[in-house]
Amino acid sequence: MLASVDSTSAQAARLAAAGLTSPAWVLAGEQTAGKGRRGRPWASPRGNFYASLVMQPAEPPEQVALRSFAAALALREALVGLTGLPQVFALKWPNDVLLNGGKLAGILLESTGANGRLGNLVIGIGVNLTTAPDPAEVEPGAVTPVSLLAETGLRITPEAFLDALAPAYARWEAVFTTYGFAPLRDEWLRHAARLGQTIRARTGTQTRTGIFETVDATGALVLTTPEGRVAIPAAEVFF
């Protein structure tokens, strides 16, 4: 575990660039330049979980991206195993884990490559183990952030969390590489937040409102809207 780093994903990318040829986790007690989706700053106080997994996947880029579902399932499995509270955790498309309806964890995938081939994949994961950002700091309409400690009373160290997460991810990685996306999709949908309910999906150009019907075989969000059924490959979801 690194005491402090700019970001675990940046450090993982540096390891890959230096010639790393096998999967590796990078764990840090503090990040000085952590980031979330769309480059937003990710608050990184000590006590929370900041880690990244770097690997060299063999699949085409569109399949590699489906590992966000493997990461979400592994996160939920680790959390349930550590807390014994399966009923309080849900998965929010595309890459968040919820606790009692609040945002507990986020996942960010970054990759490098050239000529249509992917070289390295970095899966960055942040979990609010002890503290959560001030709700005033998040985007209006976004899910309120929560911490594991405040919601459950359980204090779990980053090291202990990685001890649970790493083997959980390895199991889902094995399922994905052996059987493909279908079993991950089925399990993810069993724990999906707001499935069958009305949600909003915002892309860079428009916002669609509809009933969250499913996730399709490509990982896209499928909504039933007044204009018909639509598959959305990337968006921010609001409840």
The tokens of 27 are what? 């764990």
pLDDT for 215 beyond 70: yes
Write down the pTM of the prediction.
Answer: 0.93
What is the rounded CA–CA span in Å between residue 70 and residue 173?
6
**pLDDT higher at 18 or 78:** 78
Q: Report percent pLDDT > 70 for the chain.
A: 94
The residues pairing with 113 across neighbouring beta strands, listed in sequence order, are 118
What is the rounded CA–CA span in Å between residue 72 and residue 91?
7
pLDDT for 149 beyond 70: yes
Q: What one-character-per-residue DSSP string does 162-185 give?
A: HHHHHHHHHHHHHHHHHH-SHHHH
What is the rounded CA–CA span in Å between residue 188 and residue 51?
22
For the chain, give every domain's residue range: 8-190, 198-238
Domains 8-190 and 198-238 share a fold: no
**Three-state secondary-structure class, residue 18:** coil
Q: What is the CATH number of domain 198-238?
A: 2.30.30
Instruction: Give the pLDDT of residue 20.
Output: 87
**Which region among 21-25, 135-139, 182-186 has the lowest average model confidence (pLDDT)?**
135-139
Instruction: Give the pLDDT of residue 43.
Output: 63
Question: What sign for the dihedral angle of Cα 114, 115, 119, 120?
Answer: positive
Task: Select 8-190's CATH number: 3.30.460.80, 3.10.580.10, 3.30.930.10, 3.40.190.10.
Answer: 3.30.930.10
Instruction: Give the pLDDT of residue 51.
Output: 97
The string over 32-53, giving b where at least 16 C-beta atoms fall within 10 Å of a residue's C-beta and e elsewhere, is eebbbeeeeebbbeebbbbbbb
Instruction: Give the pLDDT of residue 216.
Output: 98
Predicted confidence band at 25 (pLDDT cuts at 50, 70, 90)?
A: very high
Instruction: Give the pLDDT of residue 45.
Output: 85
How confident is the prediction for the chain on average, in pLDDT? 92
Q: Is the CB of residue 213 less than 8 Å from the CB of residue 222?
A: yes
For the stretch 103-133, pLDDT in tens is 999 999 998 765 556 679 999 999 999 999 8
**pLDDT higher at 167 or 42:** 167
Q: Which residues contact 225 (CB under 8 A, 6 or more apart)?
A: 208, 209, 210, 211
Q: Is the CB of residue 8 less than 8 Å from the CB of residue 16?
A: no
Cα separations in angstroms, 198 against 79, 145, 212, 237: 27, 21, 6, 11
